[in-house]
Chain A
């Protein structure tokens, strides 16, 4: 094995070699050509703005303007070339072009036909070079800006929700900066992060969800810093079969984001503005128990004293929220330099009163063509955001507006009294006091930069070099003033936590494309990458604050501070070889060798191979014309690949570490109770993927179908040790998790008339997840931060709910504590089937089974989405998206608390007080967790957008587009809580479907206008 120095030397030599090659190669004789033309929609001869025009094999090209016209310059040797015109939703057109003495060349109008298929579409993710879908052995999902930017949302991830098969995106809360979780093809790790590797314009960017202060389930994920308006396109590969080239970081798939770039031609100025408003969709029914005399009842069942009543605290917590999104972009070219620059502001309130989020973005992207074989690109993007957070509480803290509400009891007027003080409402915090007096917030400042050099020194040879840098500082501050009613915080509390994140990647790819025999094309690729990241956190907190001061230093008791530094280095080299035979059979093989500093010297080098093939049957002669008229294209594909998982292990988890603990003035050290595990290896995934892509009826309908099987071995889990080892736990490669599923995407042009076009896309995906190989008698591991409810257990999906179950008789019927058979009524309550609750020998209170068991699964059986786009006339467009998930369970912890008699804040306890349920019902079912598991199936009207474009004459702008949109307008579900999609676990891997007073995802409306100059 090479040692470190050798590798470094080799890399430097490679770099120097590239430089020598660049400087040493003479430029060929070239002529400057100006190429122009127009692109039209074949159905109605309307101009197509935004279509891509490019000379094949070069970097010269542009996009069409508002009138479908294009003009660009190219420095090329005279000769025959091909111009390719592509546009989403249309069949790609390729035209030959002869460049000779004429320096101005005008193409005949290019008419494009509508197409549902996308076999000619070019993707790059997982391929390391642009590749037509036709040649791919795996499914790659992609999505264009137009489909992302019409409806309001704070984060780019939210806009992907429901749009891609096999991609599960969940907005964990309705916080204005609230986190969004992304999973590709299920979960393949227990301890690690389950989100994909994210690459933005070649830069590996962080999508961590740092929990710097306790706000409970609404943790921001850092993809929030990317302005969705800047995005041009997103590609997603979902597992090892497609992502093997990314090696040890690819177990959870890869998502690649491409931002907008400048095009050759006139300067384009676009300004868009939008206002939006959000409101809570539905609230919980609270306990308003009264006796027959109309007196409100306390939790003990007796009437409240005169003048006291029950309150719905939600009336005070939630309020309509308003926000705005402003965006300006300027792009164009000057000589050989193309530029794109943009600035944006997004600000909105949250539906939880006093919460808000603001973000400022600035971007600049420059692309310079040095000559016909060297292109240099530099990008810089900056984001600053700040949030005002209202803590919800969550599972670990006593303070929180929503925990204050649910623990109640709701028998005190929570508003300020005459003395200006907030009354103590009982169990935890007064929600209004939390909202008005607690001051929690986060600030993030982030820079992402990249520098890329793309060279084509010889025909077929290209060299690409990228340096990417992503760095951010996130600061969270929490302040609770003296004198609040929250137990344990009466003397005030202050905390400040900071995270500095720095990561960069330096990638070199060399590709050679050639024809090795008649009809056989070969593409070879070698590459290397160096990736480094460093996360440093610092935090300090204290209690017993002086009056007025808010900073940590003022506190005189419970002072704590901590610091942690975590570096990670990854090296990788890879090679890939593809052959294309007669444009119908494509075979690719690749190898990646990769090392990570998280693992011990013996185990850190890992090899990840992949093989894939695509077989385009419709290119064969036997594919008769008759067949071709029904199925114009038909392709089979298959691939197998391996990848690794890095995130399950921290930088130094393989060591037994000692912590500082002085005593009696002497410095001291104590071993951690986790024993080191020097021999652990990275989790390793093997994925097999098979699929077919075909189109029907002259490309009017395109179908993509994929089956996959992912198996992650050497799952890293925390094993318990016999305490007589002197330790408590140890990391071990012990389990296996398997994901099996199918994905189906059908896209069709339902109608295509001169004045009306309707394109419809439907996706279906299902995934089965199963854990195995966990050692020990129970074969079960409890997932941290889940109240002991979420587990990984052999034979069950990750994150399954475990806990108290109903006691059942030999026939499987639920019985009460006296053994009477019970049935669940339509209202969701259990009542005795053959006797009257409350009578002797008929308690009517469900009994709890002796053994706790698996009681639910938060993963859906399948999910569906249906997206429709309508173009009416030239100017009016309309789209809507329905999507849903079916069969997943939600653990309604919120209701469990609200129904428990000492808290009694929800309508469940009102029934008990008013006699609809027997006394003791709430106590009885409190620890039967199965009672709180609900079906979370839903169908949501995720997006509706309508836009109208006018192109006025004589005004200073080319066009203006007005739009109105709505998001999460309604949900069809049987869930009794706020929303079946919320999750107190935020973006945590194993804690899913856990509803504990998280602000629900609101209904959002927006109005906007986009002006193009």
Chain B
């Protein structure tokens, strides 16, 4: 049977109609990524740079704090007990030689902080290239410098040597930790001058800067206060006592700065202490220096008879800044400034009574004080402890241990103000488990500049 020619013609038109859209629709060999912006798109646009500035703060407030404090230094300094048998946690609590160079917690302290450094460097480099108002640009660059400084500070508190910048080639040079701290203070000074040279815009304050500030203070005042507080902190640790005192004096204790959390960006302490329960707060804040009547124990913990797994240490239920996924956490507590002044004065051989009075203002604090951290202890003179330099130094350590609980400083404080610890085989559960962490395998395998690991 032969068909009329109109049939093939119509069939063919159908074919063409079917074929052409398929061919045209599929021509894109460089399809747009609708899921995520790429690096080029982010760093070459104003909105991308703005969003990265927000993302950097978030990453610091959640992942970095989580890795650096509860899962990192707080275990090593004995503020926190592990409460699970994962080998990475067991190694952290054992410390000493048992802490392997492939430990995931140590790796996270290192890599999370350098991710912030990278984001900050990208912002500092690209913010001037995109179309931002001068005030917004200044705010972004200042914020980037602040967070880079905070991350470098975290690194300098945990490792003997470290790079001060990231390096895409994978061979970043290492500097001694004092140099890293120096770089952090320089970054903070630069951040301050940036803010002083060009006042940050309202747009920056409300749409980019993501810290919460107490009372009627503006977010930018909060940022300035943070800069001064961390300048004081890092200068003290770097041995610049006068600079530390000067910076501490510039901190307005009435302006409190916190990170706010919610379901998407959860409180990093709560994640470990409550949500996963892998970690727990220790009895007496994990130190035998703490006096039994110290009201700060009750501020940070709720009493409990429980003991930890697997090491059977006494543990308490979390309170303070750790109770829910959305509990805000401070970037610093104001009495740190008082203790910084006390320590710097002690270092400068100031009269011991001046040091004592600074310490007493913390000891006898009955409130109301910022955040409600109040010791409620009798003055130093009533403890019967001698008025010696060594004894006051220990007293500063005692007060820092309670006042600055889980601020990420306990390991550095214990090294600086506490007894020598170098028992590589069996550090006890009341003294720090390491002085400095080993460099993570992932760094030493890929970066030829990685130095030898410290012994302890």
Please report A residues at the B interface, Cβ cutoff 8 Å: 4, 7-8, 11-12, 15, 19, 22-23, 27, 30, 32, 75, 335-336, 370-371, 374, 376, 451, 453, 465, 467, 504, 506, 530-532, 557, 559, 563-567, 569, 571, 595-597, 601, 604, 651-652, 655-664, 666-673, 676, 720-728, 776-777
Contact = CB atoms under 8 A, between A and B. Distances in A.
Contact of B59 (A11, A12, A504, A661): A661
B48 interface: yes
A335 B2 CA distance: 10
Nearest to A533: B26
Interface string B294-315: 0000000000000000000000
A360 B12 CA distance: 33
27 contacts: A8-B24, A15-B20, A336-B1, A336-B3, A376-B11, A451-B15, A531-B26, A532-B26, A566-B35, A656-B38, A656-B39, A657-B33, A657-B35, A660-B36, A661-B55, A662-B264, A666-B51, A666-B208, A668-B51, A668-B55, A671-B52, A720-B445, A720-B446, A722-B443, A724-B163, A724-B166, A726-B117
A724 B447 contact: yes
B20 to A, nearest CB: 7
B28 A569 contact: yes
Contacts of B56: 670
B385 interface: no
B1 A32 contact: yes
Contacts of B12: 19, 22-23
Q: How large is the interface on B (under 10, 10 to 19, 20 to 34, 35 or more residues)?
A: 35 or more
B9 A669 contact: no
A15 B55 contact: no
Given A23-B12, A661-B58, A371 B167 contact: no
B57 interface: yes
Contacts of A723: 107, 110-111, 114-115, 440, 442-443
A453 B18 CA distance: 13
A659 B26 CA distance: 27
Interface in B167-222: 167-172, 207-208, 210-212
Contacts of A15: 16, 19-20, 23
B60 to A, nearest CB: 10
A673 B112 CA distance: 10
Given A661-B264, A663-B58, A669 B52 contact: yes
A652 B172 contact: no
B38 A676 contact: yes
Tell me what chain B mostly uses at the interface: helix, strand, loop, or mixed: helix
Given A370-B3, A667-B51, A724 B172 contact: yes
A559 B264 CA distance: 9
A726 B26 contact: no
B8 interface: yes
Contacts of A660: 36
B1 to A, nearest CB: 5
Most chain B CB within a 10 A radius of its CB, from A22, A652, A668, A721? A668
A7 B53 CA distance: 42
A289 to B, nearest CB: 25
Given A23-B8, A23-B12, A722 B442 contact: yes
A154 to B, nearest CB: 32
Nearest to B325: A557
Given A15-B16, A569-B31, A595-B29, A777 B115 contact: no
B415 interface: no
B54 A663 contact: yes
A658 B39 contact: yes
Contacts of B20: 12, 15
Nearest to A728: B111
Contact of B27 (A4, A336, A668, A722): A4
B260 interface: yes
Contacts, number: 227
A939 B56 CA distance: 58
A597 B28 contact: yes
Contacts of A32: 1
A636 B264 CA distance: 66
A32 B1 CA distance: 7
Pairs A-B, 3 closest by C-beta atoms: A726-B118, A668-B54, A723-B111
A670 B442 contact: no
A563 B114 CA distance: 29
Contact of A569 (B24, B29, B163, B170): B29
Contact of B118 (A22, A559, A565, A671): A671
Given A336-B1, A370-B7, A726-B118, A776 B445 contact: yes
A597 B33 contact: no
Given A32-B1, A571-B29, A666-B208, A673 B23 contact: no
A658 B52 contact: yes
B265 to A, nearest CB: 6
Interface in B258-292: 260, 263-265
A604 B55 CA distance: 33
Nearest to B87: A927
A583 B168 CA distance: 61
A467 B19 contact: yes
A467 B117 CA distance: 52
A75 B2 CA distance: 9
B36 A661 contact: no
Contacts of B31: 567, 569, 597, 651
Given A4-B27, A663-B57, A559 B207 contact: no
Most chain B CB within a 10 A radius of its CB, from A451, A604, A661? A661
Given A336-B1, A376-B11, A725-B114, 16 more contacts: A4-B29, A32-B1, A370-B7, A370-B8, A504-B22, A530-B23, A530-B27, A563-B35, A569-B31, A597-B28, A597-B29, A666-B54, A666-B208, A670-B58, A673-B111, A724-B166
Contacts of B169: 725
Contacts of A566: 35
B24 to A, nearest CB: 7
B51 A669 contact: yes
Contacts of B212: 664
A658 B210 contact: no
